[in-house]
Structure 1
Amino acid sequence: MTYPKSNPTMKHDLQCSQNLPAESKSLLAEMGMSSLSDLFRILEECNVSAPTPICSVYAYADAPDHPAPLSRSLTICGVADSAISLVRKIMSDDALPDGLCKSTIAVQLADKSHFSLLEPRHQKNSTIFARFMKRLRKENSVGVISKDKYNRFGLLVPMTKEGRDETLVDSEDCAAFLYTSTLEDVREAFSGARHQEVMAVEQSGGESLWQPPAGEVIGGEETLWRPPTTEDEAATSTAGDSWQPPGSDTNPWNTCETGAATTEIWGPDSDQHTSGTKRGLDEVCDEKDGSIQDTNFHVDTGAAAADAFYSGLTRNLDTRADSRLYHMRAFNGWVKATQISELNPRVAINGAVQPMRPLRVLDLACGKGGDLTKWSLHQRGMSNYCGIDVARGSLKDAAIRIREMRNRNKLQMTKTTLICADLGADVPGRKKASTHRNMQKLLSWSLQEESEFESNPPEFKMVRGGGIEAETFDVVSIQFAIHYMMSTNRRARRFFHTVSELLDVGGNLICTTIDARVVVGHLLNLGLDYHFDRDDEIDIRAVVQAGAGACRITFEPEIVRRIVKSHSSNSDEDLFGLQYTFTLVEGSDHKAGVGDAVNLPEWLTPIPVLEALGKEAGLELEYAENFHEFYENRNEEPSARNALYNMRVLNRNGTITEEEWSICRLYAAIRFRKVRESTINLDEEEETNHDDSEEEEEVKIDPIEEKKKLPMAMMKAKKAAGDEKWKGFSSEQKKRLTQIELKKLLNL
């Protein structure tokens, strides 16, 4: 990159926390940082009281503007060795932490051709800056800008040019790159064991860590939305991907063309990679030891599998940077962030429309709290955040994240709650049926119940209603998880009814999920003859692939038969329980955290089915857009387009790879608005499975207390049955009797 040709947008005072050393002295020796720990320490400790002015510099249109424009004063608190891993990572221009922004600052040109044209004051100003850049480049170092009130710091990196004459001022000496980010984002990217690995590499003088390869310019274009397609594909790339109003198409799948993904048929003997990047369950939660409580905590087997998988999944900003799908994941994050930023609901309570106020957010499938920053940056702010997930290990990580955000004044709200629940079976904040006397007890954690400086592991307790009794919300979000609700009609209806009960009229439900229209379109284009007379004629697994095999969606023969049947008959019951195995492979090094990002059973979510369920629950479908279409509808909006760069969606060629883009097309973004109360009635179903004498059967047992009392409960159960009879019991009988004694010990 060369000296900027556009007009500057803002002027800044470049200053230093101390007097710059004389040019005869080394910057690194006098004010240098030689390690990552030094860099973090100085950034935290730097308290500038009387900085020394250096010169004036100008920023351009690419300067960061979120959460606010750059400060008028940019203060250098030291210089850092370019060999530090963080500096190397940032200067690579790829795989950067979320929120990091690259911009340009400059002074007026003071090279040989322009120097005489400048006023004396500009000659002096530009020369000082150019000499400082030469010193940084000569010592292979960068300037470190101290953090501002938004916790943003910066790295001032000289531009380089091969074969320059170091005795003269060059045009590139009059400009520099400025990388800005928050300490929070950088700490997350270089935390834990990975941080220790980085430090070891630095101390040993080893090679830098591997960075994802740069993307390619595809089809001669540097645009995100135009990967190479055939003429036929280009003509229909978005047609058929959007939701159609009722009556426009009786096909429940509303399939579209095959697109960029490929399909493949696997025979019964084919290998399928199923290993994931997981910690042992005993490392995830203190209460887990592989005993009864882990297998019985969630009634639904899909929820139990998700609990085990996601609780043990190693995922952070550093491992994500090593992913082969880095930019695809960043694009998915952009879709979520854009959905969130567009929300501005006006809710009505008891028929009265409420004034605009900070949002009350219910974040379903919240995981480790990765979307918290997106919510906290919303223009309306947040007054209440409740995160719900099936994975106990992920919730503990989320609680720690929330603590850290509060301590850094990044999370300011009146109420923050985390709940472990399966929304296809559990009901937080409400009774399961109108005839029930009590609400269900759920494992819950509240930030407000902790001391401000709590450092012990987060303590989750069994709380009636999960701690959100009688609360309602402006927004409900479920990202990449609503498909877990579609295994049965009952689970799906329970989910939509619960969401409707917790959402005020006028509020929004937003979600992202696999686009069943696209997936079934691929499936029906496998070339198989579906005009069969007997069900057993389809006896092979079918696999839809995208991203050169990085994404695989596997259907067993029975499900293939059901999809074809439902496609022709439109039977309601045939549209539920359409299970597939979704595998997303981010890399091959599972120990390093870049193995299978997902490898779980999921269920197709036909858009017309979601629309019908939403209508019964009082929710009106506002849009259902394929990710490609979602992008096309927003790429001209300045804020959304800027976010593509700020969130590191685009690689250095201004695009993402064709493989990643083809995977993106497998997803859809959906938004509902609540227009009335739910008409779904689940009382009869609940009463069928409900015994008043055993009402507390619906109360889950606190895993921590269960672990403590389990040995005593088993001893009592064995004593009550007698040794001989106990020996003859099956394992299921022993578990049932032990659970009865356990509840007695816990007074349940």
Structure 2
Amino acid sequence: MKRGYQDSPSTSLGPPQSRARNNPGGDSQFLEDESMKIFARKVADHYSARTNQTLEEREASPIIHLKKLNNWIKSVLIQLYTRQGDAVLDLACGKGGDLIKWDKAKVGYYVGIDIAEGSIEDCRTRYNGDAAHHMHRKKFTFPARLMSGDCYEVTLDRVLAEDAPFDVCSCQFALHYSWSTKARARRALANVSALLRPGGTFIGTMPDANVIIKKLREAEGLAFGNSVYSIHFDEEFSEKKFKSSSPFDIKYKFHLEDAVDCPEWIVPFHVFKSLAEEYDLELVFVKNFHEFVHEYMKKPVFVELMCRLGALGDGNQDRSTLSPDEWEAAYLYLAYVLRKRGQPDRTEINGKRDRGLMHISKEDIMYVR
């Protein structure tokens, strides 16, 4: 499986210190069998079952600094590619963990969608300010809509016709769940392209296939990991070879302490880039998390943000930082930015936000099937 970009910095360094074709091939490209829908439901049930942690529980997590690092990376992406007043589509928004980031970016409108009904309910509670760990937070400044549905199966441009176009689409730690079939991968990218305005930006994070396959080939068997994560491939991949003609449904079992325990899929980045181009989405950059940290920690504004979030301590009394095992786990991921072809046009953006609400009831959540 060929590489889509250059190798990332070595893990031995250790943790750092303080054209429009919206439906090429027709709808036949989006047909899939029931087994993959069952897998999608299992993933949804896994995330729905996860409970919101108290602040004390979160700080006691064995991967607390990795979580803070992930939040820093997402915050940097949002700060770099979001402008005040932007309309945002958050695919696989989960429990709304990025709502505060969007608020700090002063976005003008937000739509979140997730397959897990339990997560969307938690997101609703968080947006309304009713979550126990957010009881003292002021209200969010942007109107929002929340939806529950599989954004890798549903045709979202019909559902969100009155809300589009969006300036920014975000998909954090979730796009790889679409890679179980070519149909789902195409649907995901078709939805992004159809809903972004020309010149709009698609930002996200996902596992780094180059790193995962490299580690698999270096391992004695079909499993590898450390104290905070483990990855296991089935016997069908015993030769550790992957055909370039079959870049979908390369499944592995992923476990991350206090976070993830479900099947995931390899996303060969060169295939992702090529497929995205079919939907008028051009690559701006892709960086492994290690490379991302080393590059943006050169900028004082992001160093200050890192200190506030505490992934590497606060630079003063707090000297705590990522453990070597957390830093190795961070090496499993990459960040990407794509831009939709065409000349930017923001003339349509401000007039279509009357569907958003400043307080969302259970009845306001749209369920899309």
CA distance in 2, matches of 1:332, 1:560: 32
CA RMSD of aligned residues (A): 2.8
Give the direction of change, closer, same or farther, for the CA distance of 1:411–1:665 in structure 2 (3 Å limit): same
* Residue-by-residue CA offset, 1:203-241 (whole Å, 9 max, x unaligned): xxxxxxxxxxxxxxxxxxxxxxxxxxxxxxxxxxxxxxx
CA distance in 1, matches of 2:281, 2:166: 14
Deviation at 1:575, TM superposition (A): 0.9
Q: Which SS does the other structure have where 2:219 is aligned?
A: coil
Match of 1:330 in 2: 68
Match of 2:212 among 506, 516, 519: 519
Query: Is 1:599–2:327 an aligned residue pair?
Result: no
Match of 1:410 in 2: 139
* Residue-by-residue CA offset, 1:346-377 (whole Å, 9 max, x unaligned): xxxxxxxxxxx501010111111110000100
Match of 2:256 in 1: 584
Deviation at 1:654, TM superposition (A): 5.7
Match of 2:241 in 1: 564
Give the direction of change, closer, same or farther, for the CA distance of 1:255–1:513 in structure 2 (3 Å limit): same
Give the direction of change, closer, same or farther, for the CA distance of 1:319–1:393 in structure 2 (3 Å limit): same
Stretches of 4+ moved more than 3 A in 1?
249-261, 405-410, 467-470
Q: Which SS does the other structure have where 1:663 is aligned?
A: helix
Which one-letter code corresponds to 1:324 in the other structure? Answer: P
Match of 2:325 in 1: 659
Q: Which SS does the other structure have where 2:257 is aligned?
A: strand
Match of 1:291 in 2: none
Q: Which SS does the other structure have where 1:564 is aligned?
A: coil
Deviation at 1:670, TM superposition (A): 0.6
Give the direction of change, closer, same or farther, for the CA distance of 1:250–1:311 in structure 2 (3 Å limit): closer
* Residue-by-residue CA offset, 1:164-209 (whole Å, 9 max, x unaligned): xxxxxxxxxxxxxxxxxxxxxxxxxxxxxxxxxxxxxxxxxxxxxx
Match of 1:5 in 2: none
Deviation at 1:259, TM superposition (A): 3.9
Give the direction of change, closer, same or farther, for the CA distance of 1:676–1:300 in structure 2 (3 Å limit): farther
Query: Is 1:551–2:279 an aligned residue pair?
Result: no
Which one-letter code corresponds to 2:110 in the other structure? Answer: Y
Query: Is 1:634–2:311 an aligned residue pair?
Result: no
Deviation at 1:332, TM superposition (A): 0.7
CA distance in 1, matches of 2:85, 2:59: 33
Note the 1:282-681 alignment, pairs <5 A. 300-316=37-53, 317-344=55-82, 358-378=85-105, 381-404=106-129, 409-413=138-142, 415-430=143-158, 465=159, 469=162, 471-526=164-219, 542-545=222-225, 548-561=226-239, 564-566=241-243, 570-571=244-245, 574-586=246-258, 597-651=259-313, 652-653=318-319, 655-676=321-342
CA distance in 2, matches of 1:337, 1:623: 16
Which one-letter code corresponds to 1:620 in the other structure? Answer: E
Q: TM-score, normalised by structure 2?
A: 0.79
Give the direction of change, closer, same or farther, for the CA distance of 1:555–1:676 in structure 2 (3 Å limit): farther
CA distance in 1, matches of 2:5, 2:261: 24
Residues 115 and 148, structure 2, Cα contact 8 Å, conserved in 1 = yes
Give the direction of change, closer, same or farther, for the CA distance of 1:256–1:624 in structure 2 (3 Å limit): closer
Match of 2:346 in 1: none
Q: TM-score, normalised by structure 1?
A: 0.40
Which one-letter code corresponds to 2:164 in the other structure? Answer: E
Q: Which SS does the other structure have where 1:369 is aligned?
A: coil
Q: Which runs of 5+ in 2 are unaligned?
A: 14-33, 344-362, 364-369
Deviation at 1:257, TM superposition (A): 8.9
CA distance in 2, matches of 1:494, 1:376: 29
Deviation at 1:676, TM superposition (A): 4.3
Note the 1:714-733 alignment, pairs <5 A. none
CA distance in 2, matches of 1:421, 1:299: 15
Deviation at 1:403, TM superposition (A): 1.2
Give the direction of change, closer, same or farther, for the CA distance of 1:476–1:575 in structure 2 (3 Å limit): same
* Residue-by-residue CA offset, 1:573-615 (whole Å, 9 max, x unaligned): x1110001110113xxxxxxxxxx2111110111101111111
Deviation at 1:315, TM superposition (A): 3.1
Deviation at 1:560, TM superposition (A): 4.2
Residues 619 and 676, structure 1, Cα contact 8 Å, conserved in 2 = no
CA distance in 1, matches of 2:38, 2:72: 32
Give the direction of change, closer, same or farther, for the CA distance of 1:252–1:637 in structure 2 (3 Å limit): closer
CA distance in 1, matches of 2:324, 2:172: 24
Give the direction of change, closer, same or farther, for the CA distance of 1:298–1:385 in structure 2 (3 Å limit): farther
CA distance in 2, matches of 1:402, 1:423: 21
* Higher Cα radius of gyration: 1
Which one-letter code corresponds to 1:673 in the other structure? Answer: R
Residues 257 and 521, structure 1, Cα contact 8 Å, conserved in 2 = no
Match of 2:25 in 1: none
Identity in percent: 33
Q: Which SS does the other structure have where 1:624 is aligned?
A: strand
Give the direction of change, closer, same or farther, for the CA distance of 1:470–1:385 in structure 2 (3 Å limit): closer
Deviation at 1:322, TM superposition (A): 1.3
Which one-letter code corresponds to 1:424 in the other structure? Answer: Y
